[in-house]
Structure 1
Amino acid sequence: MLSEKSRPIVEATAPVVAERMPFITPEFYKRMFAARPDLMDGMFSRSSQLEGTQPQALANSIVIFATYILANPDKYPDEVLSRVAHKHASLGLQEDEYPTVYKYLFEAIAADLGDAATEEVVEAWTEVYWLMADALIKIEKGLYASQANDVMHAPFTLVDRKETGNETVVLTFEAADDTALTEAKAGQYVSIITEAEDGLRQPRQYTLLPSGPKQRRVAIKLDHEGEMTKRHHQLALGDVVEISNPYGDITLGGFGDDGSGPLYLFSAGIGVTPMVAFLSELAEQGSTREVVVVHADRSADSWPLREEMSELVEKLPNAKLVSFFSAGGGDFEGRVDVSKLSVPSNAAAYLCGPLDFMKNVRSQLVGAGVPGFQVQYEIFGPDQWMLRDTARAENK
Structure 2
Amino acid sequence: MLSEQSAATVRATLPAVGAAIGDITERFYARLFAAHPELLRDLFNRGNQAAGTQKQALAGSIAAFATHLVDHPERRPDLMLRRIAHKHASLGIRPEQYPVVHEHLFAAIAEVLGEAVTEEVAAAWTEVYWLMANALIDIERTLYARSEESALREWTVVERIDETADVATFRLRPADGGPVPPYRAGQYVSVGVRLADGARQIRQYSLTAAPGSPVRQFAVKRVPGDAATPEGEVSNHLHAHVRAGDVLELSAPYGDLVLEDTDAPLLLASAGIGVTPMIAMLEQLSLEEHTGRVTVVHADRSPAAHALRGDHTAYAAKLADGEAVFFYEEDAEGAGRPGLVDLDAVEVAPGTVAYLCGPLPFMRVVREQLLARGVAPADIHYEVFGPDLWLAKDAAA
Band the TM-score falls in, shorter-chain normalisation? over 0.9
Partner of 1:348: 353
Q: CA deviation at 1:313?
A: 1.1
Task: Please give the secondary structure, in 2, of the residue aligned with 1:291.
Answer: strand
Task: Please give the secondary structure, in 2, of the residue aligned with 1:313.
Answer: helix
State the Cα RMSD in Å.
1.7
For 1:79-118, list aligned pairs within 5 A.
Answer: 79-118=79-118
For residues 116 and 358 of structure 2, the distance between their equivalents in structure 1, rounded to whole angstroms, comes to 41
Q: Answer yes or no: is 1:361 the counterpart of 2:366.
A: yes
CA contact (8 A) 1:60 1:384 kept: yes
Once superposed, which parts of structure 1, at least 4 consecutive aligned residues long, lie more than 2 Å away?
Answer: 178-182, 211-215, 258-261, 387-391
Task: Please give the secondary structure, in 2, of the residue aligned with 1:294.
Answer: strand
Q: Answer yes or no: is 1:71 the counterpart of 2:55.
A: no
Query: Residues 192-226 of structure 1, C-alpha deviation per residue, up to 9 Å, x if partnerless?
Result: 00022211000010001117755211101111222
For residues 377 and 60 of structure 2, the distance between their equivalents in structure 1, rounded to whole angstroms, comes to 19
For residues 302 and 394 of structure 2, the distance between their equivalents in structure 1, rounded to whole angstroms, comes to 35
For residues 102 and 305 of structure 1, the distance between their equivalents in structure 2, rounded to whole angstroms, comes to 43
Instruction: Letter of the 1:248 partner, please give it.
Output: G
Partner of 2:294: 291
Residues paired across the two proteins, number: 387
Task: Please give the secondary structure, in 2, of the residue aligned with 1:88.
Answer: helix
Structure 1 range deviating more: 326-335 or 263-272: 326-335
Give the gaps of 5 or more residues in structure 1: none
For 1:162-311, list aligned pairs within 5 A.
Answer: 162-177=161-176, 181-210=180-209, 215-225=215-225, 226-234=232-240, 235-253=242-260, 259-311=262-314
For residues 117 and 263 of structure 2, the distance between their equivalents in structure 1, rounded to whole angstroms, comes to 51
For residues 350 and 386 of structure 2, the distance between their equivalents in structure 1, rounded to whole angstroms, comes to 30
Query: Residues 247-297 of structure 1, C-alpha deviation per residue, up to 9 Å, x if partnerless?
Result: 0001122xxxx7232111111111100110111121222211100101111
Structure 1 range deviating more: 231-240 or 81-90: 231-240
Partner of 2:120: 120
Partner of 1:37: 37
Q: CA deviation at 1:116?
A: 1.0
Partner of 2:228: none
Instruction: Letter of the 1:228 partner, please give it.
Output: V
For residues 141 and 388 of structure 1, the distance between their equivalents in structure 2, rounded to whole angstroms, comes to 26
Query: Residues 11-59 of structure 1, C-alpha deviation per residue, up to 9 Å, x if partnerless?
Result: 1011211221122112111110110112224321111111122211111
Q: CA deviation at 1:5?
A: 1.9
CA contact (8 A) 1:267 1:275 kept: yes
Q: Answer yes or no: is 1:55 the counterpart of 2:55.
A: yes
CA contact (8 A) 2:40 2:46 kept: yes
CA contact (8 A) 2:68 2:77 kept: yes
Q: Provide the TM-score with structure 2 as the length reference.
A: 0.93
Go from structure 1 to structure 2 and tell me whether the alpha carbon gap of 1:147 and 1:388 turns closer, same or farther (over 3 Å shift). farther
Instruction: Letter of the 2:253 partner, please give it.
Output: P
Partner of 2:383: 378
For residues 179 and 124 of structure 1, the distance between their equivalents in structure 2, rounded to whole angstroms, comes to 49
Instruction: Letter of the 2:56 partner, please give it.
Output: Q
CA contact (8 A) 1:165 1:306 kept: no
Give the gaps of 5 or more residues in structure 2: 226-231
Task: Please give the secondary structure, in 1, of the residue aligned with 2:233.
Answer: coil
Go from structure 1 to structure 2 and tell me whether the alpha carbon gap of 1:26 and 1:214 turns closer, same or farther (over 3 Å shift). farther
Partner of 2:327: 324
Q: CA deviation at 1:72?
A: 1.6
For residues 355 and 393 of structure 2, the distance between their equivalents in structure 1, rounded to whole angstroms, comes to 13
Partner of 2:6: 6
Q: CA deviation at 1:364?
A: 1.5
For residues 333 and 299 of structure 1, the distance between their equivalents in structure 2, rounded to whole angstroms, comes to 9
CA contact (8 A) 1:292 1:320 kept: yes
For residues 279 and 82 of structure 2, the distance between their equivalents in structure 1, rounded to whole angstroms, comes to 23
Q: CA deviation at 1:166?
A: 3.6
For residues 37 and 14 of structure 1, the distance between their equivalents in structure 2, rounded to whole angstroms, comes to 31
Partner of 1:138: 138
For residues 302 and 12 of structure 1, the distance between their equivalents in structure 2, rounded to whole angstroms, comes to 50
CA contact (8 A) 1:2 1:73 kept: yes
Give % identity.
Answer: 46
Q: CA deviation at 1:388?
A: 9.5
For residues 309 and 371 of structure 1, the distance between their equivalents in structure 2, rounded to whole angstroms, comes to 26
Partner of 1:158: 157
Task: Please give the secondary structure, in 2, of the residue aligned with 1:141.
Answer: helix
For residues 389 and 269 of structure 1, the distance between their equivalents in structure 2, rounded to whole angstroms, comes to 23
CA contact (8 A) 1:78 1:389 kept: no
Q: Answer yes or no: is 1:46 the counterpart of 2:46.
A: yes
Instruction: Letter of the 1:356 partner, please give it.
Output: P
For residues 210 and 388 of structure 1, the distance between their equivalents in structure 2, rounded to whole angstroms, comes to 32
